[in-house]
Structure 1
């Protein structure tokens, strides 16, 4: 496990200034859109997302985690900024820091060639399109989920192209996306291994079979089951080198897990603000709810869990800023933060009673989103299993 250095005061000062601007924008401009009817069962509709991004562009907070020269903020600065975008479920969409785009931008910035960055990354940074990451596969077919080595989707060389066939599942935002990152396992005799490819969307060879009905509903396009039949991709649209797909997946997933922790901490901060306001205004049995220990103690526990979520996220961010891959640290952060935020969201609902399970505030929606967060980017149990394996390896090394 890596020991994190102290953060650079100048860098965190820059991050704090950007985060403050983002917070003002989200609270003043984005939150009023939460009642906007432009959404379906799977998430906000495209015209709402486009309008929000335009408002962010006007306010100078579109893609605030990426600097004008194309460099990223440090992970610690990104943590400060993404927590503020998360204060509304629409905030990450407006500021262009939502999943899967934020993680895809990070990956392309780290691995993509100059040509790929110009053609595929630049439009994403500019907010001119959404992206999708095609890795997970249908469980019923024995495909890749938390274990990407089980991947069934194949790619094979055909002249100066690769041909991809397979099926994918739970692909967030595929409906309406302009850019796709497709992961497949090489079917070549030389055993090239897993590969990643950049594709323009839509493509007739990539068909959305259905958009799943899921517990969450904040991501445009929802989560789709996809069939890929005879997709031809030019060789120069391979991301990086053949056989490096699994390694590139970790380049993306470690920071992406942390980004989820950042955004959802912001959402739970806001949900807790609403619950605190409710508990102070609502009276029962002759006094405000907050004066009843059963309620006041729940809000006190929320304060503790939110602070712990912030601290572990910042610690993990500092590790990633050292240049370490941070797989172990991101697993610990994913477990600790997702479980802590589930407790926070659940308490907010409980404090607010019937109002907490209604759509009158964002609290009910946050509860559903956090429940889904405990599963995607690796469920809690997979990360604990991975950490237990490391504990065993470390013990053997010392024995």
Structure 2
């Protein structure tokens, strides 16, 4: 099967048209997703109905699952081509789910590391939107930057399967997921650098439960989950025992870059709102656009956008070609998170009190920017990791 991360023969059908897809996706997100955001944000049956309608519209317009493999029912765009439209799709948090590209990380992981039975059971259903997945790595009381301290355990069952016991939290979308990929210790003790594995756990299994929702700065969607002796079939192990960190590292590299692309789209949205406000509203001293401090906000925000985008594109190019992108992804992740928070903050400032209320998406964009500096590893983790990697290339003379 074609690796969804790379440019393969399966993507040739759509590749020359990548730029045109970007504009179609942008129109869909602006015209269809933006107007439904308040309903989607609210959750519950109304949100589910709105999302189902959006997915049907995306399929009808030929925009469904564009970056997923064509052999599985997706659009067949390579990761490099998908990056050309991921910003537009990610301008709304709901864009990837509405357009069917949200499971890209899980499809990639299962296609590469899932056993034949798992690939046969889930991949096409994932692409079709019939199955929903989530990823559980972080645990209460355990720093997310130190996976070696993972306390969740998976013990061998006499039938060859696994019994999984532990807790995870800040698991996105767990309440509505059918499957959750769980990092668990299959050998050794907490703190050991070996013995961590990934298991695909059906959420309908006995012993699995959602403990509580964990709103992030007031926004829903994150959950704490418990696994109390959950039985997992032997063929639901991803890769081999002890390979969790290698698989997770590959997944994180791709996932962080996807987040950066979506943060760029959200920052561009905030920038557009800021400029529209400045160009069409007057203050006590005349048009906002004529005020130098407003102009400074516009300049600084544009500078942040224009200097961050090349960093993200460099990471995309390396990942698409299968090369080591750890340094570039670290730079892009920190830059994009800071940039989104900065641009959203400036847009709120130009809007004044209106930027703090429910009539614009700016509070949500700012919240995403602030959370972005912790999601997928805090800024400090990436800063030290990149710096150490760079310094090792210099060494000591003499």
Taking structure 2 as the reference length, what is the TM-score of the superposition?
A: 0.89
Whole-Å Cα distance in 2 between the matches of residues 38 and 350 of structure 1? 24
Correspondence for 1:203 among 202, 205, 211: 205
CA distance 1:91–1:216, change in 2 (3 Å): farther
Which stretches in structure 1 are left out of the alignment for 5+ residues? Answer: 1-7
CA distance 1:390–1:216, change in 2 (3 Å): farther
Whole-Å Cα distance in 1 between the matches of residues 147 and 70 of structure 2? 35
Higher relative contact order (CA 8 A, sep 6+): 1
Are residues 1:181 and 2:178 paired? no
Instruction: State the 1:72 CA deviation.
Output: 5.5
CA distance 1:176–1:397, change in 2 (3 Å): farther
Whole-Å Cα distance in 2 between the matches of residues 73 and 148 of structure 1? 33
Q: Match for residue 309 of structure 1?
A: 308
Contact 1:79/1:317 (8 A) holds in 2:
yes
Whole-Å Cα distance in 2 between the matches of residues 279 and 43 of structure 1? 38
Are residues 1:77 and 2:77 paired? no
Whole-Å Cα distance in 2 between the matches of residues 16 and 85 of structure 1? 13
Q: Match for residue 161 of structure 1?
A: 161
Whole-Å Cα distance in 1 between the matches of residues 349 and 165 of structure 2? 47
Whole-Å Cα distance in 1 between the matches of residues 331 and 193 of structure 2? 33
Q: Match for residue 115 of structure 1?
A: 117
Contact 1:211/1:225 (8 A) holds in 2:
yes
Instruction: State the 1:66 CA deviation.
Output: 1.7
Q: Match for residue 126 of structure 1?
A: 128
Q: Match for residue 36 of structure 1?
A: 39
Contact 1:76/1:314 (8 A) holds in 2:
no
Instruction: State the 1:250 CA deviation.
Output: 0.7
Instruction: State the 1:50 CA deviation.
Output: 2.4
Contact 1:38/1:48 (8 A) holds in 2:
no
Q: Match for residue 195 of structure 2?
A: 193
Q: Match for residue 7 of structure 2?
A: none
**Within 5 Å, which residues of 2 pair with 1:292-331?**
292-331=291-330
Contact 2:266/2:340 (8 A) holds in 1:
no
Report the count of equivalent residues. 383
Contact 2:148/2:193 (8 A) holds in 1:
no
Contact 2:66/2:76 (8 A) holds in 1:
no
Instruction: State the 1:10 CA deviation.
Output: 11
Residue 138 of structure 1 aligns to a residue whose secondary structure is: coil
Q: Match for residue 26 of structure 1?
A: 29
Q: Match for residue 372 of structure 1?
A: 371
Whole-Å Cα distance in 2 between the matches of residues 284 and 15 of structure 1? 42
Q: Match for residue 96 of structure 1?
A: 100
CA deviations on 1:116-164 (whole Å, 9 max, x unpaired) are: 222222222111232110111012xxx3512211111111212311111
**Within 5 Å, which residues of 2 pair with 1:184-333?**
184-187=184-187, 193-215=195-217, 217=219, 222-333=221-332
CA distance 1:37–1:9, change in 2 (3 Å): closer
Which stretches in structure 2 are left out of the alignment for 5+ residues? Answer: 1-10
Instruction: State the 1:228 CA deviation.
Output: 0.9
CA deviations on 1:200-223 (whole Å, 9 max, x unpaired) are: 223231111111122163xxx611
Residue 69 of structure 1 aligns to a residue whose secondary structure is: helix
Whole-Å Cα distance in 2 between the matches of residues 225 and 237 of structure 1? 22
Whole-Å Cα distance in 1 between the matches of residues 236 and 77 of structure 2? 27
Contact 2:355/2:363 (8 A) holds in 1:
yes
Taking structure 1 as the reference length, what is the TM-score of the superposition?
A: 0.89
Residue 177 of structure 2 aligns to a residue whose secondary structure is: coil
CA distance 1:163–1:191, change in 2 (3 Å): farther
Contact 1:103/1:255 (8 A) holds in 2:
yes
CA distance 1:51–1:355, change in 2 (3 Å): same
